[in-house]
Structure 1
Amino acid sequence: MPVDWERPEGETIEVAVVRDRAGDPARRVGTLVSLPGGPGSSGVDEILKGGKFSAELRGRFDIVSIDPRGVKRSHPVQCDAGLVKYRPNVIPELGGWIDEVHSYARDLAASCRQYTGALLDHLDAVSIARDVEAVRSALGVDRISTYSRSYGTMPAQAYAELFPKHLRAMLLDSVDDHSLDGRAFLASEARAGKDTFGGFTQWCARDEQCALHGTDVDQIFDDLYAKASRGELRDPADATKPVGAFDLNAQIVQRLYRPEWSRLATDLRVLADQPAGSPLPPATAQPQGKPAPMPEITVCSDWNFDIADQDQWIRLWREQNTNSAPLRAHFAWGAGSLCSGWPIPPANPPHRPQIVDGPPVLIINSRHDPATPHEWAEGVAKNTPDATLLTYEGWGHGVYDRSPCTTNAADQYLINLTIPQTSCPAA
């Protein structure tokens, strides 16, 4: 693929592609391109490990996927290992300064450019969509169907804007709303954290199997957050490694993905039972002169986060606290703070979908999703021509394989272009 699709005769990279041929060729419908999330997930690994798709779907489609540019086998983004390991303080009330975050972003970008080259300017969803079109052309098929999950819905939507006549069907699972500005993005993510953590605490209150049953879970989190803020919280697997306040928030939200309520309760119980220890010194950046992967900076290629100074950052932090209470923040806060100082303007800035003559679109999303809020799915459905939203009335991130209801509805759409219902009960 060209590094820069505006200069197709210029420098190129290799993009890894995998194809799992239809198991029932006589009933084959066509080619389904599966776009992985992350950003940073490997579509090749996912298919090689068996994928998430039903036997029916694997029988009816050649399933194709890629490692998106910048990921794993496809010219991975590499940055200085010391800078990748270090994260600046992104909590204003604990001494964080946005100028320091911006300085770190510039240093990180310089190291990424050193190890990654010109690709650093072309990691955006539009470039990935053009890669997908090149794969379609190489396969010699006129139209493809697409399945995408989470951040993979970004290049899927870009493909629909650029190449609608080559799309037979587009299934967006846990969709990103690319029409949002930075402030709205951060606020909605924070609300998703509050909503899904609330589901966890309600479960703990009613289920005796919860390791925190009978306790004030919000107060336990407050106590842990205070210990983490003082540098007194340790990683249970490595007592020399601190768990910072922002690390604590991010780990909790990650447990809400499946969701893993039981494991989250046990995690918090173990942390709460830790004996008091002396504060650990804060981490410092240690450039090591060798590369380490960091594909998550792709976010800075697709989003705008305009944070000009400390006062504005503090105002946004207070909004974050209110919207995510009692968690105080969502892990998206760290990405937004970093990207606000990224020295490379986003090649694919936020905008409403601009799809003309595309196919009917199916969007599937959990009612309670910690990463791609249901309000995002509602926004994309409203702004996308001929789109239908199917809501899974439960918790978690990623819907296709949630339940027989969600799998069957998705399969019926992809195989027959029919949508049997617009709601599936929580499993």
Structure 2
Amino acid sequence: MSLASALIAVASAACTSAASPAQALHWQPCPEKVEFDCATVTVPIDWSDRNGSTIDIAVVRDRADDAAGKIGTLVSLPGGPGSSGVDEILRGGKFSPQLQARFDIVSIDPRGVKRSHSVQCDSGLAASRPNMVPDTGGRFDDIHSYTRDLAESCRQYTGPLIDHLDAASVARDVEALRSALGEDQLTLYSRSYGTMPAQAYAELFPKQLRASLMDSVDDHSLDGRGFLASEARAGQDTFNEFASWCMRDEQCVLHGVDTHRVYGKLFASAERGELRDAEKPDTPLGPLELSRKVTQRLYAPEWPRLATELRTLTDQPAGLPMPIAPIERSGKPTTMPEIILCSDWRFDITDHNDWLSLWREQNANTPTLRAHFAWAAGTLCSGWPTPPQNPQHRPQIEDGPPILIVNSLHDPATPHEWATQVAARTPRATLLTYTGWGHGVYNRTPCTTTAADQFLTTLTLPSTPSCTPA
């Protein structure tokens, strides 16, 4: 038996042994919006110790508009890591009227997020980062020293939950929610990082899952090196698409200009410490911060806004390098849910030379951006003192439900190659490709929304493998 298979077997045994005591959800009008229902479900911090300490998971419900025609409960799992599913439902407009009519739509704040015992770490450490760019003097040992201090502070302020933030634990929380709802089966919609617990739920509780739609899917079979390389390629691909638009469309304020060269000059300025955040003129914009800002504009995508921001940064006078403030503890906590990633991903970076080798790979895979924002996350998690509780592995799903995977062809965060690989390795999975741009597919076009709605309501798979931009 492989290590991954053994881990799944142990996890499955832990989940399917001795069911948790039945509990009911006590719905109340949500304080923020009384037209929605709110409740909590109590779960163990450590699912292998069901008699140990517990936390309450925040739950929200948007009741089906057509009670007589209701199919069941659709659980929406938010992305991030760190996004609030409760907030997403309270804001409204996430799902079509057809789904709102036929399902009770339920979501959660996953463990460690906002209302569900949010991860807390020292605010001074959370607000600062050591230099993670080798070309500007970043040192691997310094980063790992910082990570140990950060993890110690997170443990101090978060408690034992810090060791149980992984997607498999969230999947078990969802199963507890199903039981509390009194449903025989759930229908799942998940997006981005939410596809991690969705995949874990399909592995652990396939019989309790009616259907699963995974929007912009994570490939949890990749090792750390493969994860970083594919993310970098996705960043380069989506920037290339932006550059092509800018070259052909006169509405781009950089029309006729080599945007790759523009970015390269800005990156060099950021490396020298001369670049300032356009929204915070007194704040330096480092090279990794520049890369992250640009990549995030490719999510929607917001091409005109990105072009304008690059133009603004290009036109600003070069600032003098600012002194680097020391990284110090504040003695006060702040939320930091992004470290949840370290519970699901292992990055085996052995030493500074190995780190340098990975950096050169980043530069080769994204020669324009130079690094994807995943670089900082992988570097940080490589020094996390606790091994991930839900490490990477190939899906181990038996007798699973129908699964529809939807993904953009040009996605800066969850590459299309991930969707292709997950679909190929997951039984009963079908891939629908949106041949356009951006992160998140469900409400991109009438084609993507209709295909998703038909699958979730009738289990009918799309008759075509792709949807084109409107």
TM-score normalized with structure 2 length: 0.90
The aligned residue for residue 82 of structure 1 is: 124
Residue 302 in structure 1 maps to residue 344 in structure 2:
yes
The aligned residue for residue 69 of structure 1 is: 111
Query: Which of 404, 416, 422 is the aligned partner of 2:465?
Result: 422
Structure-2 separation of matches of 1:359 and 1:90: 42
The aligned residue for residue 131 of structure 1 is: 173
Q: CA offsets, 1:314-353, max 9 Å, x none?
A: 1110000000111110000000000000001000000000
Residue 406 in structure 1 maps to residue 458 in structure 2:
no
Residue 169 in structure 1 maps to residue 201 in structure 2:
no
Query: Which of 47, 59, 62 is the aligned partner of 1:5?
Result: 47
Structure-1 separation of matches of 2:234 and 2:136: 24
Q: 1:393 corresponds to which letter in structure 2?
A: T
Give the deviation of 1:308 after TM superposition.
1.1
Q: 1:7 corresponds to which letter in structure 2?
A: D
Give the deviation of 1:281 after TM superposition.
1.5
Q: 1:126 corresponds to which letter in structure 2?
A: A
Q: 2:216 corresponds to which letter in structure 1?
A: S
Query: Which of 377, 382, 397 is the aligned partner of 1:335?
Result: 377
Structure-1 separation of matches of 2:284 and 2:460: 51
Q: 1:112 corresponds to which letter in structure 2?
A: C
Q: 1:65 corresponds to which letter in structure 2?
A: S
The aligned residue for residue 83 of structure 2 is: 41
Residue 159 in structure 1 maps to residue 201 in structure 2:
yes
Give the deviation of 1:51 after TM superposition.
4.1
The aligned residue for residue 19 of structure 2 is: none
Residue 222 in structure 1 maps to residue 264 in structure 2:
yes
Secondary structure of the 1:15 match is strand
Q: 1:426 corresponds to which letter in structure 2?
A: P
Secondary structure of the 1:14 match is strand
Q: 2:261 corresponds to which letter in structure 1?
A: Q
Residue 149 in structure 1 maps to residue 225 in structure 2:
no
Residue 396 in structure 1 maps to residue 441 in structure 2:
no
Residue 213 in structure 1 maps to residue 255 in structure 2:
yes
Q: CA offsets, 1:62-112, max 9 Å, x none?
A: 001000000000000000000000011111111001111111110000000
Q: 2:143 corresponds to which letter in structure 1?
A: V
Residue 315 in structure 1 maps to residue 315 in structure 2:
no
Q: 1:322 corresponds to which letter in structure 2?
A: A
Give the deviation of 1:286 after TM superposition.
2.4
Query: Which of 187, 195, 217 is the aligned partner of 2:229?
Result: 187
Q: CA offsets, 1:381-412, max 9 Å, x none?
A: 01100110000000000000111000000000
The aligned residue for residue 246 of structure 2 is: 204
Secondary structure of the 1:146 match is strand
Secondary structure of the 2:217 match is coil
Structure 1 unaligned runs (5+)? Answer: none
Structure-2 separation of matches of 1:38 and 1:183: 21
Give the deviation of 1:239 after TM superposition.
1.7
The aligned residue for residue 60 of structure 1 is: 102
What is the CA RMSD across the aligned residues, in angstroms? 0.7
Give the deviation of 1:287 after TM superposition.
1.1
Structure-2 separation of matches of 1:25 and 1:227: 59
Q: 1:89 corresponds to which letter in structure 2?
A: N
Secondary structure of the 1:288 match is coil
Is 1:231–1:282's contact at 8 Å kept on the other side of the alignment? no
Residue 27 in structure 1 maps to residue 73 in structure 2:
no
Structure-2 separation of matches of 1:172 and 1:240: 41
Q: 1:141 corresponds to which letter in structure 2?
A: E
Moved more, 75-84 or 276-285: 276-285
Structure-2 separation of matches of 1:239 and 1:371: 28
Structure-2 separation of matches of 1:280 and 1:375: 40
Q: CA offsets, 1:248-280, max 9 Å, x none?
A: 001000000000001100110000000122111
Moved more, 392-401 or 237-246: 237-246
The aligned residue for residue 302 of structure 2 is: 260
Query: Which of 278, 281, 295 is the aligned partner of 2:320?
Result: 278
Give the deviation of 1:283 after TM superposition.
3.5
Structure-1 separation of matches of 2:245 and 2:325: 36
Q: Size of the alignment, in residue pairs? A: 427
The aligned residue for residue 110 of structure 1 is: 152
Q: CA offsets, 1:178-237, max 9 Å, x none?
A: 000000000000000000000000000001111111111111111111111111111122
Q: CA offsets, 1:98-142, max 9 Å, x none?
A: 111111110000000000000000000000000000000000010
Q: 1:186 corresponds to which letter in structure 2?
A: L
Q: Which has the higher contact order (CA 8 A, sep 6+)?
A: 1
Residue 240 in structure 1 maps to residue 282 in structure 2:
yes
Structure-2 separation of matches of 1:133 and 1:51: 26
TM-score normalized with structure 1 length: 0.99
Q: CA offsets, 1:14-63, max 9 Å, x none?
A: 11000111001111111100000000000000001104100011000000
Q: CA offsets, 1:283-323, max 9 Å, x none?
A: 32121101111101111000110111111001110000000
Secondary structure of the 2:219 match is coil
Structure-1 separation of matches of 2:180 and 2:280: 48
Q: 2:99 corresponds to which letter in structure 1?
A: L
The aligned residue for residue 6 of structure 2 is: none
Structure-2 separation of matches of 1:274 and 1:295: 34
Q: 1:284 corresponds to which letter in structure 2?
A: P
Residue 95 in structure 1 maps to residue 137 in structure 2:
yes
Overall identity of the aligned pairs, in %: 68
